[in-house]
Chains A and B, each alone.
Chain A
Amino acid sequence: MNEETAYYEPLQQQRPLLSVKNLSVNYGAIKALKGVSLDVNSGEIVAVIGANGAGKSTLMTAIMGDIRRSGGQILLNGLPLPERSYQVVSAGVSLSPEGRKLFAPLTVYENLEMGAFPLKDKNEIREQMSHVYELFPRLEERAGQYAGTLSGGEQQMLAIGRALMAKPSVLLLDEPSLGLAPIIITEIFKELTAINKTLGMTILIVEQNANKALMLSHRAYVLQTGTIVMEGRSKDLLSNPEIEEAYLGGKKHQ
């Protein structure tokens, strides 16, 4: 993956697909995000890594319009992203939320249908559904099963599939590795690479599992208590001694 980073460099001169400028979010008196700026270019996987409470999920929910932004700007394709969740999804940004948050009493199929809520055209929905089934054949096998009865890995696949159903131009992933066994995480991240390569999907991922996130992504930002403290190409960050010390447990390869 790292060899390909070079390929994306010329794109960076273009206008970024998703651009977060000086974003601030407050929970009452607590400042969760203090002027965060980041860019995601078309076709890229960008990771935001950071510890618990750094503001990663806040960043995601703020982009999605799920919490009120107290300052800053978010642009999609140069145009301001709407502030209400349902408009954000229609505009082309969808989220696989932290902890998956599936509709447990609905079937796998119905969960995917919900993901396609902004789409009007039945054929378009069917087409998206077959893309998702192609990526995750296990979801097709379990289409009639209740989402709550799936295993953790399958639930994560469904959460990602559900977000893809909206036909987004940028896919947001909040901690896809949360609570999963290492072997399942490897499988999920392999699929993410495939989603990026074969569908050309632009991905913004926030992760506590810094090693996995940096291996997956082209570029990355380090978020610390609501501020971006470092950014760069993921392969550079992987070998950065500071990052190694703080986020990779002092060893580069696991």
Chain B
Amino acid sequence: MTDNMTENINLIVGATGNWEIVIGLEVHAQVSSDAKLFSGAATTFGAEPNTQVSLVDAAMPGMLPVINWKCVEQAVRTGLGLKAEINRYSVFDRKNYFYPDLPQGYQISQYLQPIVGEGEIEIDLEAGVVKKVGIERLHLEQDAGKSLHDQHPDLSFVDLNRSGVALMEIVSRPDMRSAGEAQAYVKKLRAILRYLGTCDGNMEQGSLRADVNVSVRKPGGELGTRCEIKNVNSIRFIGQAIEYEARRQIDLIEDGGEIDQETRLFDPKRGETRSMRSKEEAHDYRYFPDPDLLPLTFSAEFVEDIARSLPELPDDKKKRFTEEYSLSSYDAGVLVSESENADFFERAAKGRDAKATANMVIGSVFAGLNKAGLTISESPVQADQIGQLVDLISDQTISSRIAKDVFDLMFDEGPDQGRNPADIVDEKGLKQVTDTSAIEAAVDEVIAANPDKVEQAKEKPKMAGWFVGQVMKATGGKANPQAVNQLVLAKLGIEDQ
């Protein structure tokens, strides 16, 4: 189900009526590559300052850039993943400006002729709604170094480790209408990049950051003047920045002011945006084709080879999960958000009830990891253990309730001691009671002790549930719930509904 044409339900209420937010994103994604875009220097995060700098990165006299084909391949791979047009002829331009962490005095980027053209991605919104967001372009460019202002009382220092690292700038159409949509877009884009292996998506380390363009308008009206919020580096901050900025713009307009087209910064400590430079102060970047580099060209076969090696992407995987495993769209969406999560689920679900497995993975594994602050690769419980646990429920060895306890035990024990769920069940005597006479005795006991409730149940058959609960309690949860249910109904003389 797509929802591009339906009415925007994310309107913001202002003093003069409703307002609509219009959002476009420029995401800078660091290309996963051992070497920089135009030099052989390494790209390891967290290295000592200025230890990953070649003569080219430091812009020594007479040094020349040479394209790293690994980065080109990654950009094409990403373009294919975004279902975008691949430009087999593109041009590197120089974007000229002075800054101490920009050694060449220009950034090599792609201006008029990027390597990837139009594409689109689908974002998953609440209630299973899917929305298409257009991709305008993707281009390759160099990252700058980093200025260090806290090393000396009067001087700033420069670390050039990042200088020349390859970035993909992925520019969306202004298709998003709420902070939630923008966040869903970044999540989805990040998932695609990680599936493709073209960017690790690590926002804390700066591998993925976004420039957020925000404007507001009356629904259906002309586009408003936009402000660009630079370098927002977490999904939460993207949401906060948009919420703040939209409210700021609405208040300003409603107070009779005008929006200045400007570049703003988001301050995460105060949760607000503030002006960085106005349109008048904007740089004239004097773009022109870099004469040190020939136009970037490659063959159709180059693209086809990459296309053949693409992995299954989140949307396809989700579709397959709903079809092959009969999962709900929501559950499938949750499972495919990270390819490692999806793999975990598939390993656990192999040859057994997929729906029950999905419930266990989402309800127990993900919840447990989330609470413990762990990633799936750090999970104390392995996929095959989950599979076995599901089997124990399916063959009625234990109930779902007991299964939860077993899971918690395994989770706390961790992978080192990691016992199989069956062993735990045996050891702790958690095996479900299927012996009808034992259950019958327990049912009789409850009925005998609660004659008033028996009377009520005859009037109101739903009261049977209360008896089932009491029996389960009395048997420490080990009784087979179906058996208990049938016996209670029979003893109370209520027909099975």
Chain A complexes with chain B? no
